[in-house]
Amino acid sequence: MTKINKRNKIILAILFFGPLIFYLTLLTGTHQYTKLPVLTEQVENISSFKQAGDLTFTDHVTVVAFFGKDLLLHKTNALNLNEKIYKNFYGYPDFQMVIVLPAGSETEAAQLKKEMGTFANIEKWYFVFLQDAEINALFNSFKTPYTLDPNFYSPYAFIVDKELNLRGRDEDKEENGPLFGYNAETVAMIHQKMVDDVKVLMSEYRLALKRTKDKG
């Protein structure tokens, strides 16, 4: 009887701690990067466009998305990014979300912000309304294999660092190559990859700041 009880305790321990250990492993990183790879250097700064006002990519960790003319058709993208990315990182002082939209989408954007604002503090969500050629110029500066659709929509969200570099993965199994952006239409992609990659970038900056302070 004693042996059976002991064996049952071991089985219960495995069942309890096994998933916990696996979960913690996921949280600490799904790849081996200590630094998130730079895929494109010197993307166009959002401050290049007068419609952006004082908004800038410089000195910020920015998640950039292109929601297109049919903004409300793609609000799931915003909700996925809000739930998995924004809520986890908005406390970081230099973090921001920048949503690029065609001029004329202001009413839809206000409606989306109102809806999102009922359950989240969205003070670091910025909507920028650009002309068609300006949207293309910004998107093309990222130098990805992706394209905008005729309504200037892309399902992908992008990570731009403080030095205007596009960050991502230089090798991804599903992409069979570099991962330039994260498909915001699926919460799995955001949860399993983008959260981890933003964490890596944040850790990179924290470590750099610590080293600077130690030297001082």
Q: Which helix (H) or strand (E) holds 111?
A: helix 106-116
- In the structure encoding, which two tokens stand for residue 201, read together? 């970038």
Cα-Cα end-to-end distance for the chain? 64
pLDDT of residue 210: 79
Across the chain, mean pLDDT equals 87
- pLDDT greater at residue 104 or residue 18: 104
Ramachandran quadrant class, 43 (left: phi over 0; alpha: psi -120 to 50; beta: rest): beta
CA dist 86 and 202 (Å) reads: 13
Confidence of residue 200 (pLDDT cuts 50, 70, 90): very high
The candidate with the shortest Cα–Cα distance to 128, out of 159, 105, 100, is 100
The predicted-structure confidence for 148-160, as pLDDT tens digits, reads as follows 999 999 999 999 9
CA dist 116 and 27 (Å) reads: 26
